[in-house]
Structure formats: structure tokens, C-alpha cells
Amino acid sequence: MPFIKTKNIHVTPNRSLRYICDPAKTQNGLNIVSVNCMPDARNAYLDMKQVYEYYSNRKFNEPMPKSGKAKVKLIHYIQAFDPKDNVSIETAQQIGLDLVKEMFGEDVQAVIATHDDTGKIHNHIEINVYDLKGRHFSSDKASLNKIKKLSDEICKQYGIKPFDRENYVRKPIISGYHEWINLKRGTSWKQMIRNKIDELITIADSFDDLRQRMEQEGFTFKDGKYICVKAPSQQRNVRLKTLGDNYTPERIEKRIAEHKQTGVAIFAEQFQSVAIQINQIAGAYSNNSTLNHVNGKFMQIYMIIMQEKINSFGVLQGKLSGAEKKYADLTQRVQELKEKIETTTEEIKLAEHYFNDMGVMQRRFPKKDEDKAAVAIVKQHSFKKKEDISVLLEQLEKYQTELAVLNEQLSSAGGEVRKYKVLNDIYDNMTTKEDYISRLVREAKDRTTSEEWNSMLDEQRSIILSELDKNISYPMTVMEKKLRDKLKKLLNMNVEPYEIEQVIRALAIIRIDKIDSIETAHTLSGRMKISAANANDFTKRASFLRRSRDYDDLIEAVRNIDIYPPEKKLSEEKKNPPKKKHGR
């Protein structure tokens, strides 16, 4: 990725040429080329001096004027290459030569020196502002952009990627000795501001949020054409852009977004990994409806985190706190509005009583509390006739409309609070409870329905018979191997089908729950019985009891591994069936 920068040379052309042609920097001159100029500092200076003075009518080595700027004699470009591109000195120099010819033509006077003294291959290119035909070159923003574009195009031809200008960040410029010495001592207030910005970028939601956080710590900002900032103990403001390319408002906003995106991905992946681990542990239960629901919840959390750009537990807690505050504020507003509705409704009722039910004497000399209250309301609102009550009716309608809107907002805010509480609780469980994932899987397994349990048993039965038919073998526990060997023998014996099915079912249960001992089967059976006792639904209770019996049958099958049923003997009649008698 080539990088181009430039500077104008006013009164030191000879010294500049001697610098770029220094043998210590150019490997004894082997990597210097020239266009219409000798590759030697002295000769290059004399040749350029002659052409410049002829066309400009000025001295090439004239001193700096007392006022204003000196005339530009040479334009100095630096073309640097990224070490990752592995550009050789010869290739770099050829690229520089192609660039000069493409940009300035064949009549330009130029010296190109390729240096590697900094550990990074780079070209120094110095051109005379006048070419051999008197054409004048100027160095401005437009010409710099043009040469940068040409540099990228030429480098592409050599297989070098263009310079990534969009993401390039220059180092902060040190404005003088005073700042340099303070940087060395660690007392630079500019660096103090940079450090604070770097620190807050990791937690801020936006540039405005970062600015607010800095102001809370005593920093002050000043708006204008450029945003300025001042550290707590400093006297003068500094423009943010003066702190370096990494500290402009636009760049700070981008850095915050990049950090959030990275942090969000890392934070969200923790929830995604739980779903992956659940599937790995679940085994045969992977299609369990409860586990699918749990997995779906974790993937939903993953999407919420990505969409809302939550990059840490702290940010999550902040969102929960904000949602709770909003819910509390809305609750209070709803309550206040309900009180207003209640008050207005009562005032309407009293005003209607005044105009509908009370006579002249009652109005002038009210005795009952209701009458007194009615008179007070009419006087309070200056009602003269019954139609004036419409003001209160309109106010009541307005309050009721506002209440409907607030109730919707309250419902939405309540949903936000519940959402963040779920995320908060789940993350807390994930990070503080070692067996959290195992417990989720175990609870989901316990909720397996009878249909799902039968489906798993049928699937494992088919797999077991297929493996036996194809003589497929795989690593097994001692208990599983003994049951499988017994199944092979039973299949070759003339026994009742239920005796074979009992062993197949035992093998299927072992595989589904990865049971390696009778003790494990006892534990599962006991847990099913406890779940059945606590179940409120008859269907669930029956399902738990059915699985408990299956585990008990497995225990019995394991205990009877060495007991084989007697072979079923065929009756004499079946062995020697009678011959059919044929009639005449």
C-alpha cells in the first residue's frame, strides 16, 4: 500500500538534494535514478539551477524574503511502501520513475532516491518546478490528489494494493519543543485529553455521550467551526483535530462504532455458544421441543444483543436501569392521569347535579355536603349554564386519550424491563453457576413428552437393528456390550418377541441417556417419580411414571443379562404335520 506526501522547498534546494543522495541512505548511489538530471547531488543542483534561473529570472539560491514566502524551487514527494507488500528497492525505484513520467512528462528534471534507512522502503522524488520547455509545476491539493491517484494505479500494475486512505490515521503532530518535553515527562495536557478519550471510547455510545462523560469529569467543550476541548487544570482550549486524526469528532464516532461492533460480537457469541453446547450435550434429545425452545431463546438473545449493540454486561445493566426508570416514570404519570380522570369525572357529576337537581334555594343555601360540593365546583369553573359543562367533558376525553397512549407506552416499557431482566439473569447464571448449561439440558430432558420419548426409542431401535444387520461395531461401555451380545444370541434363538424387545429397549434407553451404570438408571427413575408426584397435569404425571417404569425395566434387564430364556420347543404336530387326505 503506497503512501504519498509532499513538501515545497524554498531556499534549501542544494541541502535537500544532498540529503536524498546521501550514500549512507542510498546504498552508495545504486538506487538513485534521474530524469534529465545527473544522479549526483552537485550536478543535479547545477542542472536544476540553470533551468530554474533561465525561466524564472530569479536566483536559485536566493535568501528568504523579509516578508511573505519565498518562491518554490523544488517539489519534494515521499512515496512509502508497506513492509507487508515486500517491495524490493529495484521495484520501488521503477514505480517512482513511472510515476514521475506519467505525472510530469519526459521533459521534467527529477531525482529519485530509494531509501531503506528507516526499515521501510520509500522513494524521495524531487522535481524542478520548471521543466526543460519552461512549463511550470505547482504543488497544491489538486496536484497532490492527482499524484496519489496515479501512484495507486501504477502500484496496481505491480500487484501492490492501493493505499487505504479512508482508514489511515496520522500520528499526532507535536507542535513544538515545549509539547515534546512534556510528552517525554508525561505531563502533556494534550496527551491527557487523548488518554481520556481513548478510555471513554470503550464505554461511550456516541460522540455526544463521550462528550457528556468528559464534561462530568471537569473537561469543557467549546462549539464553533471546530470543536475545542480543555482539560480541567488548563487555561487554553485545543481543537480536537489538533490532537490528531484519531480525535476528530467523525473519527471518534467511527472508533466508538468499531469498538461497539467488536465488543457486541464477542458478548453475543457467549450466548450463541450456550446454544451450541446445549446441542452437543443433548445428544438424542436434540429434537426435544423444550430444548428447541431454550435454544431459540438463546438465539433470540443473540439477535437482541446484535441489534441493540450491547457490548458488555455493564451496558446491559445500564439498559435495564434505564428501562426500569422509564417504567417507573410512566407508572407515576399513569397514576397521576388516573387521579385527574377521577377528579374530572366527579366534577362533571357534581356540576350536572347542580343544574339538573338543585333548585334556586338549594343553590343559594346548600345544606347537604353533595350540594355544597356542587356549588363549589360551579363557582370554581364559573359555569353559568348546563352547556358550560362541555369544557369538563372535553378535558375528560383528552385525559382518557392520553391515558390510552400512556398505557401503551407503559406496556412497551414493561416488556423492555422484562427483556433486559431475562438477559441480565441468564448472563449472571452463565457466568456464576458452573452447572448452568447441564441443568438447562437436564430440566429440558425431564419435560420430554410421551410422544417424543417413544419417537426417540423407535429411532434408536432402528439404528440398533441396522448396526446388527451390517455388523457395525463401535466403542461401548461394559454394560452396553453385554446387552448387545445377549441381543445377538436371542436373535438366533427361538424365543418370544417380547424378550428380544426388552433388550432392544434397554439398549435404546442406555444410548438416549448415556447410562453407564445401574446407579445412574436408579437416579433417573427416582427423578421421574418425584416429577410425577409434583405434576399437576394428569398427562404429565402419566408420562413421568411411564419413563420411570422404563428405567426400572432397564435395571431388571441389566441384572438378568446372564439369564437366558429356554428355547421355545415346537410341538410334534408342527414338526411332523399330518398329510392331507384327498377325497376321491
Do 558 and 506 form a contact (C-beta atoms < 8 A)?
A: yes
Which residue shows C-alpha cell 438378568? Answer: 560
Cell of 318: 445500564
CA distances from 74 to 21, 30, 54, 61 (A): 15, 23, 15, 11
When pLDDT is averaged across residues 379-406 and rounded to a whole number, the result is 93
Which residue shows C-alpha cell 491527557? Answer: 192
Do 180 and 120 form a contact (C-beta atoms < 8 A)?
A: no
CB-neighbour burial class of residue 366 (10 A; exposed 0-12, middle 13-18, buried 19+): middle
Give the highest mean pLDDT range of 375-384, 424-433, 568-577. Answer: 375-384
**Between 41 and 554, residue with greater pLDDT:** 554
The number of residues making up the chain comes to 584
Which residue shows C-alpha cell 445377538? Answer: 488
pLDDT of res. 232? 84
Query: For residue 466, what are the contacts with CB-CB under 8 A and spacing of at least 6?
Result: 472
pLDDT of res. 577? 57
Mean residue pLDDT of the chain comes to: 84
Interatomic CA distance for residues 232 and 437, integer angstroms: 49
Give the highest mean pLDDT range of 55-59, 330-334, 488-492. Answer: 330-334
Interatomic CA distance for residues 147 and 395, integer angstroms: 71
Interatomic CA distance for residues 440 and 448, integer angstroms: 13
**Between 581 and 322, residue with greater pLDDT:** 322
pLDDT of res. 11? 78
Interatomic CA distance for residues 584 and 153, integer angstroms: 110
Interatomic CA distance for residues 309 and 120, integer angstroms: 39
pLDDT of res. 139? 85
pLDDT of res. 352? 93
pLDDT above 50 (res 570): no
The angle at the Cα of 56, spanning 53 to 62, to the nearest 5 degrees, equals 60
Do 525 and 548 form a contact (C-beta atoms < 8 A)?
A: yes
When pLDDT is averaged across residues 498-507 and rounded to a whole number, the result is 90
pLDDT above 90 (res 354): yes
Cell of 190: 494534550
Q: Dump the DSSP string for 378-440.
A: HHHHT--SGGGGHHHHHHHHHHHHHHHHHHHHHHHHHHHHHHHHHHHHHHHHHHH-TTHHHHH
pLDDT above 70 (res 581): no
**Which ranges constitute the DSSP H helices of 217-312?**
249-282, 289-308
Res. 573 pLDDT band, cuts 50 70 90: very low
Interatomic CA distance for residues 475 and 380, integer angstroms: 91
Strand runs labelled E in 297-411: none
Which residue shows C-alpha cell 502533556? Answer: 188
Among 181-190, 207-216, 455-464, the minimum mean pLDDT is found in 181-190
Give the highest mean pLDDT range of 26-35, 49-58, 228-237, 430-439. Answer: 49-58
pLDDT per residue as tens digits for the range 285-337: 878 888 888 888 888 888 888 788 787 787 888 888 889 999 999 999 999 99
Query: For residue 577, what are the contacts with CB-CB under 8 A and spacing of at least 6?
Result: none
**Between 501 and 279, residue with greater pLDDT:** 501
Question: Other C-beta atoms within 10 Å of 157: how many?
Answer: 9
Q: How far is CA 501 from the centre of its chain?
A: 52
pLDDT above 90 (res 380): yes
Pairing of strands 228-230, 220-222: antiparallel
pLDDT above 70 (res 574): no
Res. 370 pLDDT band, cuts 50 70 90: very high
Cell of 171: 500520528
The letter for the amino acid at 481 is: K
Do 64 and 14 form a contact (C-beta atoms < 8 A)?
A: no
